[in-house]
Amino acid sequence: MYNVIQLIVKYGAHLLFVVLQVICFSLIINYNKAQKDIFINSSNVFSGKIADLQDKILQFANLKEQNDSLMRENANLIENIIKIEYSSDNIPDSDTLLNQYRLIPSNIINSTIHLSNNHFTLNRGSRHGIQPDMGVIASHKGLVGVVRNVSENFAHVISLLHSQTKISCAVKGRKGHGTLVWKDMDPLRMNLESLPKHEFIATGDTVITSGYSTMFPKGLLIGKIEKFSIPSGSNSYSIKVKLFNDLTNSEYAYVIKNKLGSEQLSLEKEVANE
Amino acid sequence: MNKTISTNIIRAIILFLAQIIIFKQITFSLGGLAFIHFLIYPMVILLMPIKTPRSVLLISAFVFGMALDMFYDSIGIHTAALVFTAYIRNLVIAFIEPIEGYNMVDVPTIKVMGIGWFVTYTSILLLFHIFIYFSIEAFSFVYIFEIFLNSIFSFIVSFMVIIILQFLLRTKY
């Protein structure tokens, strides 16, 4: 106690100064409009800066979660686009048809580009509902490949850039359909074959999926016709397609789950066995 | 000692009245560049006896400043500046102490301490006071240029008035 009193005696004047100044400033801020405004504003500036910084740090920490949620959102949006593609058609609408496709977001964790048979690995597997022969897309614009093998947590995908790739596709706004194959070892270009030569096409036309397979729904954008020719003696065009997406730097992919795919396949198999 | 207290109280009242009746009215602007304020009231604190305890200085500065602020409609601004001046007064006095030191009864006036000492003493404290006053009035260092300009012009006129008053009214305490 004695020490406290001694301390107050020794530093009393300084304490008094601080106390009086605090009183003065609280009075200034509370009763003078100009000073009050400046005080509030500069405190806003400081707190705003701090909040901004905090937000930046938290955002960085949350990047992965945000990315995941964005991917889920994207998956929903692409599903909607597919639905619209179907509902705008003349096919009679039905709920089962509209909800036929579901998208499973995933990350590409391993890929090859420059081989003649390229592959991807996704970080989702049978546990997440992926099965062989499902289509894989990068976004609404651009296919990636087809699932070949599935383990519990990973899926092995045959890239579009594979000598065995055959994807049924059509030209938007034109009739007829052909097959998309990869021939020239160019990761940005593919070839569209067996489109009958009596159909009319032009360079710049958009190539879309035809929806004739169970892997990809109708109307997914693939690329643009860069040039085409009719080889002599052939019955179909030889078309070079420039892909919309760049498979060399794809990071995310959506696996398309066709709920009615197995039904369609089993029916077709019965017919084939006859 | 009683005479010292009563002299100081009377001086405070006279300076207070002079400040709010006369010097408050002749605040004018210098072509829109700077505003000149005659701030002569720091003399109340400046002219207290040299050995006055710091806490007495602070409390009298606070009371005097509050009374002044009520007439200036700027609660706390003059007070904060004057309390600050009172706080650093003893530091300045110690800083400019003559070789022979101070006597117990010394009063910081021209008559007792000489004109050189008094000019140094008054200019340092008055400059501090006026600068603090304008800083708190602007309340933001965005206006640092205006603060300096106002401070310098107001300091010049206030300082001249204080020196003239010192020659006119030579109090003993």
In a domain, A238, yes or no: yes
- pLDDT at residue B56 in the model: 87
A256 and A162 within one domain? yes
Q: Which of A244, A17, A112 is nearest to B82 (CA)?
A: A17
- pLDDT at residue B125 in the model: 92
CB contact under 8 A, A17 and B87: yes
Burial of A251 (0-12, 13-18, 19+ CB in 10 A): exposed
Name the token pair of B165.
């008053």
In a domain, A79, yes or no: yes
CB contact under 8 A, B80 and A25: yes
In a domain, B173, yes or no: no
Which chain A residues have a beta carbon less than 8 Å from that of B53? 13
Mean pLDDT, all residues of chain A: 81
- Alpha-carbon torsion A197, A89, A265, A130, what sign? positive
- pLDDT at residue B126 in the model: 92
Query: What's the rounded mean pLDDT across residues B98-113?
Result: 78
A115 touches chain B (CB under 8 A): no
Helix axes B144-168, B115-138, angle to 10 degrees: 140
A80 and A40 within one domain? no
**Chain B CA closest to residue A36:** B139
Q: How confident is the model at residue B138 (pLDDT cuts 50, 70, 90)?
A: confident
Long-range interactions of B140-144: CB distance < 8 A, separation 24+:
B140/A38, B140/A42
Q: Does residue B171 have a pLDDT over 80? A: no
- pLDDT at residue A260 in the model: 81
Higher pLDDT, B105 or A134: A134
Q: Does residue A96 have a pLDDT over 60? A: no
CB contact under 8 A, B59 and A25: no
Range scoring the smallest mean pLDDT among A16-20, A53-57, A106-110, B51-55:
A53-57
Name the token pair of A106.
């995933």
A193 and A104 within one domain? yes
Q: Does residue A35 have a pLDDT over 80? A: no
A252 and A205 within one domain? yes
Range scoring the smallest mean pLDDT among A197-211, B14-28, B97-111:
B97-111
Q: CB count, 10 Å around CB of A162? A: 20
In a domain, B61, yes or no: yes
CB contact under 8 A, B76 and A20: no
A188 and A147 within one domain? yes
Name the residue facing B55 among A12, A28, A38 (closest C-beta): A12
Cα separations in angstroms, B8 against A246, B4, B47, B62, B171: 89, 6, 8, 15, 10
A195 and A88 within one domain? yes
A153 and A84 within one domain? yes
Q: Which of A188, A192, A187 is nearest to A205 (CA)?
A: A192
Spatial CB neighbours of B109, under 8 Å, sequence gap ≥ 6: B47, B118, B166, B170, B171
- pLDDT at residue B127 in the model: 92
Taking the C-alpha atoms of residue B148 and residue B156, their distance in angstroms, rounded to an integer, is 12
- pLDDT at residue A274 in the model: 67
Q: Does residue B86 have a pLDDT over 80? A: yes
Query: What's the rounded mean pLDDT across residues A220-228?
Result: 87
Query: A43 CA to chain B: closest CA distance, Å?
Result: 12
- pLDDT at residue B1 in the model: 61
CB contact under 8 A, A28 and B62: no
CB contact under 8 A, B83 and A25: no
In a domain, B51, yes or no: yes
Q: What CATH number is associated with residue A116?
A: 2.40.10.340
Q: What is the 3-state secondary structure (H, E, C) of chain A?
A: CHHHHHHHHHHHHHHHHHHHHHHHHHHHHHHCHHHHHHHHHHHHHHHHHHHHHHHHHHHHHHHHHHHHHHHHHHHHHHHHHHHHHHHCCCCCCCHHHHCCEEEEEEEEEEECCCCCEEEEEECCCHHHCCCCCCEEECCCECEEEEEEEECCCCEEEEEEEECCCCEEEEECCCCCEEEEECCCCCCCEEEEECCECCCCCCCCCEEEECCCCCCCCCCCEEEEEEEEECCCCCCECEEEEEECCCHHHCCEEEEEEECCHHHHHHHHHHHHHC
A212 touches chain B (CB under 8 A): no
Name the residue facing A32 among B77, B84, B140 (closest C-beta): B77
Spatial CB neighbours of B138, under 8 Å, sequence gap ≥ 6: B146, B147
Q: Does residue A87 have a pLDDT over 80? A: no
Taking the C-alpha atoms of residue B113 and residue B100, their distance in angstroms, rounded to an integer, is 12
Taking the C-alpha atoms of residue A140 and residue A240, their distance in angstroms, rounded to an integer, is 21
Query: What's the rounded mean pLDDT across residues A153-173?
Result: 86
A235 touches chain B (CB under 8 A): no
In a domain, A265, yes or no: no
- Structural domain of residue B41, as residue ranges? 2-168
- pLDDT at residue B55 in the model: 86
Q: Are A161 and A113 in contact (CB under 8 A)?
A: yes
- pLDDT at residue A140 in the model: 67
Q: Which uninterrupted H or E stretch holds B35?
A: strand B34-36
Name the residue facing B136 among A12, A28, A31 (closest C-beta): A28
Total domains in the fold of chain A: 2
Spatial CB neighbours of B64, under 8 Å, sequence gap ≥ 6: B12, B16, B41, B44, B45, B82
Cα separations in angstroms, A257 against A93, A103, A104, A133: 19, 6, 7, 10
A196 and A74 within one domain? yes
A104 and A8 within one domain? no
Query: What's the rounded mean pLDDT across residues A139-147?
Result: 81
Output the CA angle A57-A59-A62, nearest 5 degrees: 115
**Chain A CA closest to residue B79:** A24
DSSP β-ladder status, A221-229 and A155-162: unpaired
A92 and A157 within one domain? yes
Q: Are B106 and B173 in contact (CB under 8 A)?
A: no
Name the residue facing A20 among B53, B62, B136 (closest C-beta): B62
Considering only the C-alpha atoms of chain B, give the largest distance between any 2 of them, rounded to a whole number of Å. 48
A11 touches chain B (CB under 8 A): no
Taking the C-alpha atoms of residue A265 and residue A259, their distance in angstroms, rounded to an integer, is 11
CB contact under 8 A, B83 and A21: yes
Query: B72 CA to chain A: closest CA distance, Å?
Result: 11
Q: Does residue A94 have a pLDDT over 70? A: no
In a domain, B46, yes or no: yes
In a domain, A274, yes or no: no
Q: Which uninterrupted H or E stretch holds B36?
A: strand B34-36
- Structural domain of residue A75, as residue ranges? 70-260
Name the residue facing B140 among A12, A21, A42 (closest C-beta): A42
CB contact under 8 A, B76 and A13: no
| The one-letter amino acid at A231 | P
Higher pLDDT, A61 or B40: B40
**Chain A CA closest to residue B136:** A35
Q: Does residue B173 have a pLDDT over 60? A: no
Name the token pair of A263.
């039904």
A228 and A103 within one domain? yes
- Select the highest-mean-pLDDT range: A77-81, A189-193, A250-254, A260-264: A189-193
Mean pLDDT, all residues of chain B: 84
Range scoring the smallest mean pLDDT among A130-134, A139-143, B93-97, B146-150:
A139-143
In a domain, A138, yes or no: yes
Range scoring the smallest mean pLDDT among A72-86, B59-73, B149-163:
A72-86
Total domains in the fold of chain B: 1
In a domain, B112, yes or no: yes
Higher pLDDT, B171 or B4: B4
In a domain, B74, yes or no: yes
CB contact under 8 A, B140 and A38: yes
Q: How confident is the model at residue B123 (pLDDT cuts 50, 70, 90)?
A: very high
Q: How confident is the model at residue B27 (pLDDT cuts 50, 70, 90)?
A: confident
A34 touches chain B (CB under 8 A): yes
pTM above 0.90, yes or no: no
A77 touches chain B (CB under 8 A): no
Query: What's the rounded mean pLDDT across residues A218-223?
Result: 84
Query: What's the rounded mean pLDDT across residues B59-79?
Result: 87
A104 and A12 within one domain? no
**Chain A CA closest to residue B138:** A35
Which chain A residues have a beta carbon less than 8 Å from that of B54? 13, 16-17
Taking the C-alpha atoms of residue A71 and residue A74, their distance in angstroms, rounded to an integer, is 5
